[in-house]
């Protein structure tokens, strides 16, 4: 950015800090050009450039005004997504709307990190049809349960989830509190259930409730009605009921009461929060005290560190009480307009000796103090995204002027790397460090195969953006939206100018998805490309783009991988075609490849079969390209061509030499060894199969060279699909939850639970383990695949509560049908019904099944019995069973009914 442009930006930032929406003349281009002593056209050009870059917002009134975006956002605590506003009123209205939204849960520290899941759970509970879902909040004393509910009530009021006269009424339970009388009322007073007017009743410290009160509350919540204490009239519950428990609710309240609350939110202790979240709590509390006392408060850095690192018995409540007492004490003994908190003012157990020594400076010298009213706590996410924004802006500026960036000026990227290193030192980011190590392990060999290198900090960056792309915090999503165009521009530039680096980036992202189960986004793509460009010279890349095109699921990929490994570098990319690809379709694919990488002057395409005559004609209209095509490719032919590419031979020489030396020969290898494979399936979808697979992987006593995959039931039922699988793999067994698979290698989940077929299962794995390891595997399977653990791991709902309802429903079904289900069918039925409830709760029911009309006619009695047996479960979870689900249920019990 030019010096004049920087000066204009600094001046607009300074003006925006004093913005009062009255005197706006100073924000016009005329006023700015006069103040800066530059021409109006130059000032207008730079102001509009800064607007296009997203740095300034533009008010397109008459006259036009320019304001600094970041200063506006900081000044009014809002997030602006628009670059243009039609007038001053439009901007003011937007700020007011954003401020109104911010006044609820978004004020809370950690609303988009450690509180994100509890907030989303409470949102879902409030929005659930009817009176919503009851909620338990649990966590140790002082973690912020009450404040969260108060802010969520404001959120509900702002979003029209309650009536206008709805209230939030709290009951703080002591040992002798009669909760029931407060809820239903007395002869002389109305109860909270009536007075709350459809709002929220929040019962705090439920661990102190008497057992009798807990049982009475559970009946009210479960049945949805109560009897008025004065009139004895039966009244419907028309409000939300939330409770909190100081500690682990499972051990502190009655089990029947806990079962009535399907939504469970846990809040962590203060010392378990991230460093910047603990820092923000300290600063916010002191800012509040400064406002109340109408004095400035200064805090030494040692005192700040001591307060952040302390472990409090009652968490945030203790922190607040300590700072309140301290500010009151300092205020009482000082008439000055400011208070100074240093480490010597804190309790001795909060600080170390060297902290005290660092605060004992000679008289008259100031400590290294922080003004809490003007202090912005360190936020690694803001710093990282700010630097990345600057990199993208620098890139865009160079591109607009025709000077494509080569990152010769590396200072911004070095700042980004330095920011990551400092963040890892300030706080022990265990998740990032662990993932960084795994990323390095997974992709290092792939990066090296392209002749590139990456330092350790690059893997930290990749890990950070992988986690953010998965968590999608509000701040990250907002930043991504603002910079989407710049990110896409950067990716397109590298795709066109450095296709090898772009292809490597796509391979890295695919590898991370497969091995670490993280999905990469465009932000991660840009980070990978910048890292590769930072530490490698792209301009020395080979002028060739070499592709192997072959029919089959992985024929080209396998050949390219083998050849690249032998060459010691990634010369060939692969394109796998389905077996029914026509010559015309092949021509289109090859043409698309050539057009995608126009920067390459020499393109070699090796195809496995088919005539090249039509292909040659289709490529004639592509200018300025040397395109060589060779058919009947083999690994040896590709290897020979790869060596010639590395030697720098011309494309004509490579083509002539490769054809002259190409000779066919063959060797027949019988009984080739195949990789062993285990498959997991489920009638409840691929997600459920993945969960079973993970349970099995967790049972293995060590990592082994074995493929374990999840497929849909339709895949496994397909003869063509299974034929391809068995051609490529040695299938050990199939396991899961379905009655459709008839393969002799199928071991149902029920049989694992009943310890049947375990000998067959273990025999297939004995080649990998010693006797002791085999016994460990068996023990792990018996534990991990117990009925209780299966239900707990395969459902997102509370497994203990869910199983109790399902167990009762199955018992009712047996009584209504006058049959006793077999042990094997009973286990499968439990699991099937638990999965069914989850599907219905998440609005993903099974709606289609063959011969459904015939089933309705023939089995009307069974449909009625099934609905009757499942009624309590359906009422508890607010669901309704579809006919297709009942038909699947009938398939499970058909054998026992016939008997």
Q: What is the pLDDT of residues 612-641, one digit of tens each?
A: 445 666 666 666 567 788 888 888 888 888
**Encoding tokens for residue 839?**
């599907």
Tell me the per-residue pLDDT of 220-238, one tens digit each, with 9 for 90 and over.
999 999 988 778 888 999 9
What mean pLDDT is predicted for residues 543-565?
Answer: 81
Q: Looking at the predicted structure, is the pLDDT value of residue 263 above 90? A: yes
| Residue with the larger pLDDT of the pair 628 and 181 | 181
Separation CA 94–CA 196 (nearest Å): 33
**Termini Cα distance of the chain:** 84
Q: Looking at the predicted structure, is the pLDDT value of residue 211 above 70? A: yes
pLDDT band of residue 405 (cuts 50, 70, 90) is low
* Angle between helix 40-52 and helix 3-17 axes, rounded to 10 deg: 80
Separation CA 6–CA 8 (nearest Å): 5
| DSSP three-state, residue 29 | helix
Cβ-contact 259, 136 below 8 angstroms: no
Q: For position 793, what pLDDT does the model report?
A: 66
**Encoding tokens for residue 464?**
């950070």
Which residue is listed with tokens 């010693």? Answer: 770
> Residue 315's Cα: distance from chain center in Å?
28
| Residue with the larger pLDDT of the pair 13 and 137 | 137
- Reported as type and span, the H/E element at residue 801 is helix 799-817
Q: Give the neighbor-by-neighbor strand order of the sheet with 626-630.
A: 572-577, 544-551, 602-607, 626-630
**Encoding tokens for residue 593?**
């490849």
Tell me the per-residue pLDDT of 456-501, one tens digit each, with 9 for 90 and over.
778 888 888 887 777 666 677 778 888 888 888 888 888 877 777 8
> Residue 282's Cα: distance from chain center in Å?
28
**Encoding tokens for residue 861?**
């009695």
Q: For position 425, what pLDDT does the model report?
A: 46
Q: Looking at the predicted structure, is the pLDDT value of residue 355 above 60? A: no
Which among 133-147, 513-527, 697-711 has the top mean pLDDT? 133-147
With a CB cutoff of 8 Å and minimum separation 6, the contacts of 512 are: 439, 442, 443, 462, 466, 518, 520
Q: Give the neighbor-by-neighbor strand order of the sheet with 338-341.
A: 338-341, 296-300, 369-371
With a CB cutoff of 8 Å and minimum separation 6, the contacts of 366 are: none
Cβ-contact 279, 376 below 8 angstroms: no
| Residue with the larger pLDDT of the pair 143 and 369 | 143
| Residue with the larger pLDDT of the pair 252 and 79 | 252
Helices (H) and strands (E) in the chain, counts: 42, 21
Q: For position 427, what pLDDT does the model report?
A: 44
Mean pLDDT of the chain: 80
How distant, in Å, are the alpha carbons of 228, 466, 526, 704 from that of 518? 54, 6, 16, 22
Separation CA 93–CA 106 (nearest Å): 19
pLDDT band of residue 21 (cuts 50, 70, 90) is confident
pLDDT over 90 percentage in the chain: 16
pTM over 0.85: no
Tell me the per-residue pLDDT of 811-825, one tens digit each, with 9 for 90 and over.
888 888 888 877 667
Cβ-contact 179, 173 below 8 angstroms: yes
Separation CA 344–CA 76 (nearest Å): 36
Main-chain dihedrals φ then ψ at residue 262, nearest 5 degrees: -70, -20
H-assigned helices in 18-142? 29-36, 40-52, 69-76, 88-102, 116-127
Separation CA 63–CA 379 (nearest Å): 38
With a CB cutoff of 8 Å and minimum separation 6, the contacts of 761 are: 733, 735, 747, 752, 781
pLDDT band of residue 122 (cuts 50, 70, 90) is very high
Q: For position 759, what pLDDT does the model report?
A: 75
Q: For position 380, what pLDDT does the model report?
A: 67
Best CA proximity match to 880, nearest among 829, 845, 854, 853: 845
């Amino acid at each position: 950015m030019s010096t004049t442009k920087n000066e204009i930006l600094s001046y607009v930032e300074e003006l925006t800090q004093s913005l009062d929406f009255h005197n706006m003349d100073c924000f016009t281009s005329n006023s700015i050009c006069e103040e800066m002593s530059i021409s109006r056209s130059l000032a207008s050009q730079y102001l509009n450039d800064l607007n296009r870059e997203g740095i300034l917002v533009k008010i397109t009134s008459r006259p036009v005004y320019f304001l600094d975006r970041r200063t506006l956002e900081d000044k009014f605590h809002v997030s602006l997504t628009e670059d243009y506003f039609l007038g001053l009123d439009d901007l003011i209205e937007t700020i007011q709307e954003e401020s109104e939204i911010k006044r609820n849960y978004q004020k809370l520290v950690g609303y988009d990190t450690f509180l994100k899941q509890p907030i989303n759970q409470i949102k879902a509970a409030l929005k659930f049809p009817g009176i919503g879902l009851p909620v338990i909040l649990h966590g140790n004393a002082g973690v912020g349960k009450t404040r969260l509910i108060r802010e969520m009530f404001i959120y509900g009021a702002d979003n029209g989830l309650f009536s206008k006269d709805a209230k939030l009424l709290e009951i703080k339970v002591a040992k002798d509190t009669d909760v029931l009388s407060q809820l239903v009322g007395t002869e002389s007073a109305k109860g909270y259930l009536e007075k709350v007017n459809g709002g929220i009743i929040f019962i705090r410290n439920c661990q102190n409730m008497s057992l009798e009160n807990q049982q009475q509350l559970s009946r009210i919540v479960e049945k949805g009605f109560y009897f008025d204490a004065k009139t004895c009239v039966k009244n419907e519950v028309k409000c939300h009921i939330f409770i909190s428990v100081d500690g682990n609710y499972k051990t502190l309240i009655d089990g029947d009461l806990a079962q009535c609350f399907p939504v469970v939110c846990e809040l962590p202790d203060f010392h378990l929060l991230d460093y910047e979240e603990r820092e923000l709590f300290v600063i916010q509390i002191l800012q509040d005290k400064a406002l109340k006392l109408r004095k400035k408060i200064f805090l030494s850095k040692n005192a700040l560190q001591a307060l952040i690192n302390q472990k409090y018995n009652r968490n945030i409540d203790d922190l607040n009480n300590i700072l309140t007492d301290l500010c009151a004490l300092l205020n009482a003994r000082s008439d000055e307009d400011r208070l100074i908190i240093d480490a010597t003012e804190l309790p001795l157990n909060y600080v170390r000796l060297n902290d005290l020594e660092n605060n004992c400076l000679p008289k008259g010298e100031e400590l290294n103090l922080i003004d809490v009213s003007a202090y912005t706590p360190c936020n690694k996410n803001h710093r990282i995204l700010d630097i990345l924004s600057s990199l993208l802006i620098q890139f865009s500026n160079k591109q607009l002027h025709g000077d494509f960036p080569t990152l010769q000026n590396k200072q911004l990227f070095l700042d980004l790397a330095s920011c990551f290193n400092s963040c890892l030192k300030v706080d022990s980011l265990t998740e990032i460090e662990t993932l960084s190590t795994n990323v390095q392990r997974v992709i290092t060999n792939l990066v090296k195969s392209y002749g590139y290198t990456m330092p350790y900090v690059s893997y930290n960056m990749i890990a950070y953006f992988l986690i953010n792309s998965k968590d999608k915090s509000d701040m990250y999503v907002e930043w991504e939206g603002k910079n989407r165009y710049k990110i896409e521009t950067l990716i397109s530039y590298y795709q066109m100018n450095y296709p090898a680096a772009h292809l490597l980036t796509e391979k890295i992202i695919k590898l991370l998805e497969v091995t670490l189960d993280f999905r990469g986004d465009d932000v991660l793509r840009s980070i990978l490309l910048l890292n590769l460009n930072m530490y490698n010279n792209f301009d020395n890349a080979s002028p060739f783009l070499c592709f192997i095109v072959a029919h089959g699921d992985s024929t080209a990929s396998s050949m390219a991988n083998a050849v690249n490994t032998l060459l010691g570098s990634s010369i060939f990319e692969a394109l796998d075609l389905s077996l029914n690809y026509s010559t015309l379709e092949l021509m289109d694919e090859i043409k698309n490849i050539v057009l995608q990488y126009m920067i390459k002057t020499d393109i070699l395409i090796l195809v496995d079969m088919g005539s090249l005559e039509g292909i040659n004609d289709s490529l004639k209209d592509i200018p300025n390209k040397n395109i060589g095509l060779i058919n009947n490719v083999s690994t040896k032919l590709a290897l020979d061509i790869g060596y010639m590419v590395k030697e720098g031979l011309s494309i004509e020489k490579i083509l002539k030499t490769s054809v002259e030396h190409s000779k066919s020969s063959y060797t027949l290898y019988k009984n080739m060894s195949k990789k062993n494979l285990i498959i997991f399936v489920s009638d409840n979808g691929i997600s459920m199969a993945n969960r079973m697979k993970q349970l099995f992987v967790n049972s293995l006593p060590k990592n082994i060279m074995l493929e374990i995959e999840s497929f849909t039931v339709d895949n496994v039922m397909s003869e063509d699909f299974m034929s391809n699988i068995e051609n490529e793999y040695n299938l050990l067994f199939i396991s899961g939850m379905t009655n459709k698979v008839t393969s002799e290698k199928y071991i149902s989940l029920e049989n694992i639970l009943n310890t049947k077929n375990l000998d067959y299962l273990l025999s297939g794995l004995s080649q990998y383990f010693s006797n002791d390891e085999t016994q460990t595997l068996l023990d792990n399977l018996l534990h991990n695949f117990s009925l209780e653990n299966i239900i707990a791991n395969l459902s997102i709902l509370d497994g203990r509560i869910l199983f109790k309802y399902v167990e009762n429903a199955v018992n009712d079904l047996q009584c209504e049908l006058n049959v006793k289900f077999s042990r094997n069918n009973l286990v499968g039925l439990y699991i099937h019904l638990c999965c069914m409830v989850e599907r219905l709760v998440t609005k993903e029911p099974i709606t289609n099944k063959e011969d459904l009309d015939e089933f309705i006619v023939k089995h009307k009695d069974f449909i009625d019995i099934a609905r009757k047996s499942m009624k309590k479960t359906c009422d508890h979870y607010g669901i309704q069973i579809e006919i297709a689900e009942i038909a699947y249920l009938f398939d499970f019990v058909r054998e026992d009914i016939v008997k």
